[in-house]
């Protein structure tokens, strides 16, 4: 019985997903990962957001970067450099073991979901982390220097080019993950939580899967987003820069506007509590609390509050 679906990107989303996993059982929580960041590199299929979720939930994530593995070494990257290989995207030795295993399983005909489930089991993970779709979707970033595949924009160009828009290549042929569809049909579903991830590059690729927005709206469980913007900045990543370049305010209000009437609940940081009245509408409740997740306790507290907030919200289907 799925009580909660979490839609997540990488680092920020994984922190909240970890918090949810501390009080919801593996049967009660489904974590759905963005795969728009995925790409083919050095002959491997790299899935950054899925891997960040797996490593974070298994408590083996690199604490400095938030992505990649803890206790990492870089011998392969060094060796690659000496033979003139591509090293702009850093794959640690231990992390490579995961990429090799995934590639092998994908090459033998397994779906991305199957490979992730196998890897999750091998690292002792109990909570299900599923890709948004088994069909490849690749985020393309439109910029002032042309259209760039996501990781070329993000890592190779360090998010410097000015963003003018996004395209999710392949999304029209993508089907939502079957476990997500099952969870959406579960009458015991209490909340869909949009984690504090970048709306443009982490959540929009999920919401762009044909039919999914409508399926989300059709549920009686409220959809609640946690703002990734506090004050006028993002704690991590280029969300504030993207908002600015696309001509929006850099505030939690712009995030609420972005999701629009998809949301019945919006969680903002206490620093932004003065925005609460302005953002609250007939169909959208607002809750202000500490959303900065430094410690595990912060993650669990925010996750608990967000999940509890859902029970106070009536959706159009329940009134």
Binding site for ligand FO1 (CB under 6 A): 9-10, 37, 46, 48-49, 51, 67-68, 89-91, 95, 151, 154-155
List, in order, residues 6 or more apart from 87 with CB less than 8 Å away: 77, 80, 81
- Nearest approach in angstroms of CB 163 to ligand FO1 is 14
Classify each residue of 206-227 as buried b or exposed e, where b means 16 or more C-beta atoms within 10 Å of its C-beta: bbbbeebeeebeebebbbbbbb
Q: Closer to ligand FO1 at the Cβ: 67 or 168? A: 67
Cβ 102 vs Cβ 120: under 8 Å: no
- Nearest approach in angstroms of CB 159 to ligand FO1 is 9
Q: Closer to ligand FO1 at the Cβ: 73 or 317? A: 73
- Nearest approach in angstroms of CB 49 to ligand FO1 is 5
Q: Closer to ligand FO1 at the Cβ: 105 or 151? A: 151
Q: Closer to ligand FO1 at the Cβ: 204 or 272? A: 204
- Alpha-carbon span 231 to 237, nearest angstrom: 15
- Nearest approach in angstroms of CB 88 to ligand FO1 is 7
- Alpha-carbon span 221 to 42, nearest angstrom: 42
- Alpha-carbon span 115 to 146, nearest angstrom: 34
The dihedrals phi and psi of 31, each to the nearest 5 degrees, come to -105, 120
Give residue number: closest CB to ligand FO1: 10
Q: Closer to ligand FO1 at the Cβ: 184 or 203? A: 203
- Alpha-carbon span 10 to 48, nearest angstrom: 7
- Nearest approach in angstroms of CB 247 to ligand FO1 is 23
Cβ 41 vs Cβ 63: under 8 Å: no
């Amino acid at each position: 019985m799925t009580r909660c679906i979490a839609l997540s990107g990488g680092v920020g989303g994984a922190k909240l997903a970890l918090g949810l996993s501390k009080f919801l059982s593996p049967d009660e929580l489904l974590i759905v990962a963005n795969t728009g960041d995925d790409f083919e590199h050095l002959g491997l299929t790299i899935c950054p957001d899925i891997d960040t979720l797996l490593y974070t939930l298994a408590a083996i994530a690199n604490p400095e970067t938030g992505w990649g593995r803890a206790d990492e070494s870089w011998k392969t990257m060094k060796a690659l450099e000496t033979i003139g290989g591509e090293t702009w995207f850093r794959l640690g030795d231990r992390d490579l073991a995961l990429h090799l295993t995934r590639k092998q399983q994908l090459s033998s005909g397994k779906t991305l979901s199957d490979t992730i489930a196998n890897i999750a089991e091998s690292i002792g993970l109990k909570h299900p982390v599923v890709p948004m779709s088994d069909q490849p979707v690749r985020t393309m970033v439109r910029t002032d220097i042309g259209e760039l595949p996501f990781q070329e924009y993000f890592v190779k160009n360090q998010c410097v080019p000015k963003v003018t828009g996004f395209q999710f290549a392949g999304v029209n042929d993508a089907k939502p993950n079957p476990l997500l569809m099952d969870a959406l049909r579960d009458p015991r579903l209490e909340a869909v939580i949009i984690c504090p991830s970048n709306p443009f590059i982490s959540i929009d690729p999920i919401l762009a899967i044909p039919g999914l927005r409508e399926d989300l709206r059709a549920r009686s469980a409220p959809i609640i987003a946690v703002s990734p913007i506090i004050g006028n900045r993002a704690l991590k990543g280029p969300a504030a820069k993207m908002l600015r370049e696309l001509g929006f305010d850099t505030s939690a209000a712009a995030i609420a506007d972005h999701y629009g009437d998809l949301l019945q609940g919006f969680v903002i940081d206490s620093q932004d509590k003065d925005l609460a009245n302005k953002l609250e509408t007939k169909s959208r409740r607002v809750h202000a609390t500490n959303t900065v997740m430094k410690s595990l306790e912060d993650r669990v507290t925010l996750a608990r509050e967000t999940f509890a907030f859902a029970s106070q919200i009536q959706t159009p289907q329940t009134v």
